[in-house]
Amino acid sequence: MILPCIDLMDGKVVQLVQGRHKALEADAPEVMVQRFSAFREIQVIDLDAAMGRGSNEDIVACLASQAAIRVGGGVRSAERAHRLVEQGARKVIVGTAAFNRAGVNRGFLESVAQAIGRERLIVALDSRGGRIVVKGWQEATELSAEEVLSLLEPYCGGFLCTYVDKEGMLSGTDLEWFRRLRRATALELTAAGGITTMDEVRELAGLGINVALGMAIYTGRLSLDELAALDRAS
């Protein structure tokens, strides 16, 4: 599956470089969701909520009523996850709250899985320098994606794995990292971060990994028509 990304900040669709620097603003959220209508599913991330500085809840609810979306960013309670599903979100992505000082936050994950169903829960394993990063990618943990996959499997239906080192840089991603992750779990994997060429997209799709795309489509490096055709064929 190919998933175009809508990242929200201050009510606008944006693209960031490595989660820190805003590189561009796109058209209004409702325009972008229509532009991506040929795809089976769209990934929506509320960056303000992820960074703990507000939210774009009304926009997310509006998009969920218009398209098949998976939503992440600032989901820190089972109630919030359940509300997103009630609003129409197909799946819910959790990141920061999935971890605590002891490692995996099992109690939180159990409560979310019970509230929305394990198959709807995606855990974000956003990684920089080999370590999982949280709180809008601003803080690093001591954990690696590879070592926590098996611990997280009982609570979720899949993983969103972002290679933050190359996020938004249009310089390619680390395909070997994604190969290692694919070997480590049979659950759904979605790759993100630095994916720039159709060769990379096809390689990941051939591994049975979903591909979430942002900067490469917003800058026109990748063709939406070609991606949509690949999405339909996969």
Strands (E) located in the chain: 2-9, 12-17, 21-25, 42-46, 69-72, 91-94, 99-100, 103-104, 121-124, 127-128, 131-134, 139-140, 158-162, 188-192, 210-213
β-bridge mates for residue 44, sequence order: 6, 71
Catalytic residue among 7, 46, 48, 231, which? 7
Tokens 């370590």 belong to 131
In angstroms, how far apart are the furthest CA atoms of the chain? Answer: 45
- Structure tokens, 124: 């974000």
Q: How many CB atoms lie within 10 A of CB 142?
A: 10
Verify whether residue 126 is a known catalytic residue. Answer: yes
Verify whether residue 7 is a known catalytic residue. Answer: yes
> Helix 106-116 vs helix 78-87: angle between axes, to the nearest 10 degrees?
30
Catalytic residue among 10, 46, 48, 126, which? 126
Torsion of CA 211, 193, 160, 185, to 10 degrees: 80
Helices (H) and strands (E) in the chain, counts: 10, 15
Closest listed residue to residue 46, CA positions, set 104, 110, 96, 1: 96
H or E element, residue 32: helix 29-35
- Structure tokens, 184: 């480590």
Catalytic residues: 7, 126
